[in-house]
């Protein structure tokens, strides 16, 4: 082995040692970019822990994840928008629009798809239950005192805040 | 390892548990043998919460079967179905049995339900009348803690009760009240509060009051609903021995065709023999006839208790058809237990000479998970999506029509050539719901369902196909009861005609199904069996 080969080997070893933190940093980066894009698509309080799980799944499923997240963020920025209603129509139809719907669906259903073998991201933090939380329990969680659930029929228009 | 007991009860479901406790209270020695594992409620609740949304509607998904005690489960063909309709019941082979995931709905039969042959010329009559079973219904309501309405106008059946319910009925949600009013005002139909095995407004039986967790199926997270698992510690405190993970695969006969022992495999596939004096096989309407057939011996070449050739025949259920529709006005179902009211009066009438009766239940499952796909594929985002979820959840209704079914010897459970993990033949069931049911769907139930949908202002009613029925999971008929040993398997005490010390209580004994969920009747019959067993044991 000549000196140059030794040098290359040493560099490779150094890089390999550095890899775990590099991966960690990359993961953190994707997570925060994912949360950023998510916050634009879903204008509610979003849990970073749930976001990390969805991001990890997305990373394994979408090779161009980073790029798609950036394009969603840029689309909103181009409109100066922070609400999904103000920029969603500007997301081009096709792969990017489908991905945006997938992200929204993941937050609402807490699952990677509607299939019975889908990956679960969260149960009780799935947003699906929040628009009706004043009237309907999240199943398994207590809702009222004994025999005290005969509350008023709330109008459809009074959306709870979440 | 226990190798002998005065009374041997196989199965720790509601039927086995009630009999075991009655025997213990009478001072008898009881051994219970249970195929499945003993699990904690917390574990099942976690299993449920950890399911992806798409698996949550499956009532069995939270109960993965043990290798040695398979039960019907997604991806596992435990039960073969042949014939024109799909027979697809679920049950749980865990300690505590299938009430783990029952809804707790507890409709009594009516006197007419028990006399189909003499009144309408179809099916079979029961071996006894309503007055005979009435006291045992009362015992069941007390044992399980069944709440129900005090107002006779809201009670089912419509007749004076001999005892009040031990608890008042659970309140209807606003949406259920609205549905009740609409049914009354527009159709003249009574939508009445369901009598149900759930603690209403108070603790009962050391279990807490219902707090509307809306998860009775697949598991009540707090134990406000009766399930047999809640009684097992008490049975042990009273002296029962419970062997879990022990699969009985053979019932052994001896002199005089009396039962002398049962054989079970433990989870290492080691076989054990347990002797006793009185034997109760309470493994449910599929596993009990299966065990009888598996136990064939020289004295009983067609299987135990089967001199009539009726073991495994006459399998019945409440075939059902669901209707989901959307209304304009909000109904807001989902607060309270998952089934809380229903229309029973459509289950009675002289038309039963021609076609099946039907019961309409208004499901009260929180609708969010069911409308999710529709909302998410609406293309809406932001506030519009939230409003769509709110609208669909509030305005989507699910009404289920449950039919009665006639005993037909061709609807038959046999032993499959396929083997389970222990090498035991799987059950196979030929299944045809029959023209009696199909006619009802086409001529009676579909038109009624349409009127119900129109009355609530549904915008998207679709009739059910008169060919397609799902299974209710109320397993009945396979060890049918009767006075004549030539045409029935067990007598009025659920004791086999062929073996003086063998009882086969549970749904298998039922001679007619009526329309209402049948576990209360299975349990009442279990009390009758228990009384007979105790008096036999005491030499009365
Ligand atoms: C989703 C669902 C909802 C339901 N809702 C209702 C309702 O609202 N109202 C109603 O009336 N009914 C309802 N039912 C039906 C109800 O659950 C059953 O009727 C009831 O549990 C039957 O009780 P059982 O004791 O006869 O049988 P099970 O509860 O099935 O118990 C049988 C026991 O025997 C054990 N066993 C089986 N084979 C063996 C063997 N070889 N050796 C040893 N042990 C064995 C099993 O492990 C089990 O513990 C529902 C069922 C389902 C699936």
- B120-to-B115, B125, B353, B357 alpha-carbon distances in Å: 8, 10, 5, 12
Q: What is the pLDDT of residues B142-159, one digit of tens each?
A: 999 999 999 999 999 999
Long-range contacts of the stretch B200-205 (C-beta < 8 A, 24+): B200/A146, B200/A147, B200/B147, B200/B167, B200/B168, B200/B169, B200/B170, B201/A146, B201/A147, B201/B167, B201/B168, B201/B170, B202/A146, B202/B167, B204/B145, B204/B166, B204/B167, B205/B145, B205/B230
Q: How confident is the model at residue A28 (pLDDT cuts 50, 70, 90)?
A: confident
Residues of A in contact with B385 (CB under 8 A): 104, 108
Q: How far apart are CA B223 and CA B214, in angstroms?
A: 12
- Give the pLDDT score at A158: 87
Residues of B23-49 as b/e, b for ≥16 C-beta within 10 angstroms? bbebebbbbbbbbbeebebeebbebbb
**Percentage, residues of chain A above pLDDT 70:** 85
- The complex scores an ipTM of 0.94
- pLDDT tens for each residue of B425-476: 999 999 999 999 999 999 999 999 999 999 999 989 999 998 899 999 999 9
**pLDDT greater than 60 at residue A9:** no
* Percentage of chain B modeled with pLDDT above 70: 100
What is the residue whose two structure tokens read 């019932």?
A: B251
DSSP collapsed to 3 states, B400-465: EEEECCCCCCCCCEEEEEEECCCCCEEEEEECCCCHHHHHHHHHHHHHHHHHHHHHCCCCCCCCCC
- The reply to whether residue B381 touches residue A84, judged by beta carbons under 8 angstroms, is yes
In the predicted structure, residue A20 carries a pLDDT above the cut 70: no
Which residues of A are less than 8 Å from B332 in CB distance? 135-136, 153-154
**Based on C-alpha coordinates, what's the Rg of chain B?**
23
In a mutational test of the B interface, the residue from A135, A148, A151, A155 whose CB has the highest number of chain B CBs within 10 Å is: A135
Q: Which chain B residue shows the shortest CA-CA distance from A143? A: B212
Of A12-21, A84-93, B14-23, B306-315, the range with the lowest mean pLDDT is: A12-21
Note whether A137 contacts B214, CB cutoff 8 Å. yes
pLDDT at residue A11 greater than cutoff 60: no
Distance from CA of A92 to the nearest CA of B (A): 14
Chain centre to alpha carbon of residue A66:
13
What's the pLDDT tens digit per position in B243-275?
999 999 999 999 999 999 999 999 999 999 999
Q: Each residue of B362-382: pLDDT tens digit? A: 999 999 999 999 999 999 999
Query: What is the length of chain A?
Result: 162
Residue B149, CA atoms < 13 Å, CB-side half-sphere: 20
| CB proximity under 8 Å: B 350-409 to A | 365-369, 372-373, 375-376, 381-387, 389-391, 393-395
Asked whether B508 lines ligand 1 (CB < 6 A), one says no
Distance from CA of A8 to the nearest CA of B (A): 48
Q: What is the mean pLDDT of chain A?
A: 88
Of B19, B38, B41, whose CA–CA distance to B207 is shortest? B41
pLDDT at res. A26: 73
* A93 CB within 8 Å of a chain B CB: no
Q: Rounded to an integer, what distance in angstroms lies between the CA atom of residue B530 and that of residue B415? A: 29
Rounded to a whole number of angstroms, the distance between the first and last alpha carbons of chain B is 32
pLDDT digits (tens, 9 = 90+) for B232-248: 999 999 999 999 999 99
Q: Which of A116, A128, A136 sits opposite B58 (nearest CB)?
A: A116
| From B53, B177, B387, residue closest to A159, measured CB to CB | B387
Taking CB atoms and an 8 Å cutoff, what residues of chain A touch B74?
Answer: 116
Centre of ligand 1 to C-alpha B19, Å, is 15
Verify whether ligand 1 is closer than 6 Å to residue B393 (CB atom). Answer: no
Cβ contacts of A157 on chain B, cutoff 8 Å: 387
CA distances from B336 to A158, B102, B211, B305, B314 (A): 21, 15, 7, 44, 36
Read off the pLDDT band of A23 (50, 70, 90): low
Token pair for A144: 């009222």
Quote the pLDDT of residue A155.
Answer: 82
- Asked whether the beta carbons of B407 and B479 are under 8 A apart, the reply is no
Q: Which two tokens stand for residue B441?
A: 């769907």
What confidence tier does A15 reach under pLDDT thresholds 50, 70, 90?
A: very low
Q: What is the mean pLDDT of residues B108-134?
A: 98
A10 band by pLDDT with thresholds 50, 70 and 90: very low
Q: Which of B54, B201, B389 sits opposite A147 (nearest CB)?
A: B201
Residue B367 contacts residue B136 (beta carbons within 8 Å): no
Average pLDDT of the residues in A121-128 = 98
Query: Please, which residues bridge with residue B250 across strands?
Result: B263
Task: Give the pLDDT score at A8.
Answer: 45
Average pLDDT over residues B297-326: 98
Q: Any catalytic annotation for residue B474?
A: yes
| Mean per-residue pLDDT, B338-359 | 98
Measured between CB atoms, does A108 come within 8 Å of chain B?
Answer: yes
B318 torsion bin: left (phi>0), alpha (psi -120 to 50), beta (else): beta
Residue B102 Cβ < 6 Å to ligand 1: yes
pLDDT of residue A157: 84
State the average pLDDT over residues A22-39. 86
Task: Please give the average per-residue pLDDT across B374-394, as a whole number.
Answer: 97
Ligand 1 proximity of B100 Cβ (cutoff 6 Å): no
Distance B98 CA to ligand 1 centre (A): 3
- Annotated catalytic residue, options B474, B493, B497, B499: B474
pLDDT at A12 over 50: no
Name the pLDDT band for B177 (thresholds 50, 70, 90): very high
d(CA B64, CA B78): 12
Query: Do B207 and A136 touch, CB atoms closer than 8 A?
Result: no
Task: Answer yes or no: is pLDDT of A93 > 70.
Answer: yes
| Residue B333 confidence (pLDDT) | 94
Cα radius of gyration (chain A): 22
CA of B15 to the centre of ligand 1 (A): 8
Q: What is the pLDDT of residue A6?
A: 44
pLDDT grade, residue A22 (50/70/90)? low
Is the C-beta atom of B90 inside 6 A of ligand 1?
Answer: yes
Interchain contact, A140 vs B215, CB within 8 Å: yes
């Amino acid at each position: 082995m000549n000196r140059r080969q030794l040098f290359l080997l040493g560099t490779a070893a150094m890089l390999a040692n550095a890899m775990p933190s590099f991966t960690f940093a990359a993961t953190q980066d994707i997570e925060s970019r994912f949360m950023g894009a998510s916050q634009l698509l879903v204008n509610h309080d979003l849990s970073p822990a749930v976001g990390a799980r969805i991001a990890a799944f997305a990373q394994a499923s979408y090779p161009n994840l980073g790029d798609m997240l950036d394009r969603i963020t840029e689309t909103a920025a181009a409109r100066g928008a922070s609400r999904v209603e103000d920029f969603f129509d500007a997301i081009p139809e096709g792969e990017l629009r489908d991905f945006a719907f997938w992200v929204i669906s993941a937050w609402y259903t807490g699952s990677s798809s509607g299939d019975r073998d889908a990956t679960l991201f969260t149960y009780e933090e799935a947003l699906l239950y929040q628009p009706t939380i004043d009237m309907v329990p999240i199943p398994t969680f207590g809702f009222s005192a004994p025999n005290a659930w005969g509350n008023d029929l709330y109008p459809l228009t009074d959306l709870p805040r979440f | 390892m226990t190798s002998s007991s005065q009374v041997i009860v196989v199965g720790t479901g509601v039927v086995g548990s009630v009999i075991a406790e009655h025997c213990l209270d009478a001072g008898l020695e009881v051994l219970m043998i249970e195929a499945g594992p003993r699990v904690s409620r917390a574990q099942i609740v976690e299993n449920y919460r950890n399911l992806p949304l798409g698996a949550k509607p499956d009532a069995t998904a939270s109960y993965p079967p043990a290798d040695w005690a398979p039960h019907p489960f997604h991806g596992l063909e435990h039960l073969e179905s042949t014939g024109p309709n799909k027979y697809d019941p679920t049950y749980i082979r865990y300690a505590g049995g299938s009430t783990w995931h029952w809804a707790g709905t507890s409709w009594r039969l009516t006197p007419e339900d028990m006399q189909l042959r003499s009144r309408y010329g179809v099916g079979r009559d029961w071996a006894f009348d309503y007055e005979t079973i009435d006291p045992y219904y009362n015992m069941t309501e007390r044992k399980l803690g069944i709440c129900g309405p005090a107002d006779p106008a809201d009670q089912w059946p419509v007749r004076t009760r001999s005892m009040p319910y031990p608890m008042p009925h659970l309140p209807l949600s606003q949406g259920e009240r609205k549905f009740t009013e609409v049914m009354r005002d527009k159709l003249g139909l009574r939508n009445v509060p369901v009598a149900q095995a759930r603690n209403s407004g108070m603790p009962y039986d050391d279990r807490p009051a219902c707090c509307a967790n809306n998860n009775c199926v697949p598991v009540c997270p707090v134990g406000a609903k009766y399930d047999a698992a809640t009684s097992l510690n008490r049975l042990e405190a009273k002296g029962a021995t419970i062997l879990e993970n022990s699969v009985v695969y053979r019932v052994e006969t001896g002199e005089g065709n009396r039962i002398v022992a049962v054989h079970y495999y433990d989870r290492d596939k080691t076989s054990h023999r347990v002797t006793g004096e009185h034997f109760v096989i309470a493994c449910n309407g599929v596993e009990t006839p299966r065990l009888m057939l598996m136990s064939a011996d020289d004295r009983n070449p067609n299987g135990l208790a089967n001199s009539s050739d009726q073991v495994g025949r006459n399998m019945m259920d409440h075939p059902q058809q669901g209707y989901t529709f959307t209304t304009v006005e909000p109904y807001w179902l989902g607060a309270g237990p998952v089934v809380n009211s229903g229309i029973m009066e459509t289950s009675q009438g002289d038309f039963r000479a021609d076609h099946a009766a039907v019961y309409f239940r208004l499901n009260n499952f929180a609708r969010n998970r069911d409308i999710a796909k529709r909302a998410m594929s609406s293309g809406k985002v932001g506030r519009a999506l939230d409003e769509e979820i709110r609208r669909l959840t509030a305005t989507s209704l699910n009404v289920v029509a449950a039919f009665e079914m006639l005993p037909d010897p061709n609807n038959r459970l046999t032993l499959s050539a396929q083997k389970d993990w222990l090498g035991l033949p799987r059950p196979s069931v030929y299944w045809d719901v029959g023209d009696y049911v199909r006619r009802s769907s086409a001529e009676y139930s579909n038109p009624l369902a349409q009127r119900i949908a129109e009355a609530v202002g549904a915008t998207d009613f679709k009739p059910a196909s008169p060919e397609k029925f799902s299974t209710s999971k109320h397993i009945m008929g396979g060890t049918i009861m009767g006075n004549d040993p030539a045409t029935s398997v067990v007598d009025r005490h659920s004791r086999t005609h062929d073996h003086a010390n063998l009882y086969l209580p549970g749904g298998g004994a039922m001679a007619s199904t009526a329309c209402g969920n049948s576990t209360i009747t299975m349990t009442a019959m279990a009390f009758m069996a228990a009384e007979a067993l105790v008096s036999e044991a005491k030499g009365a």
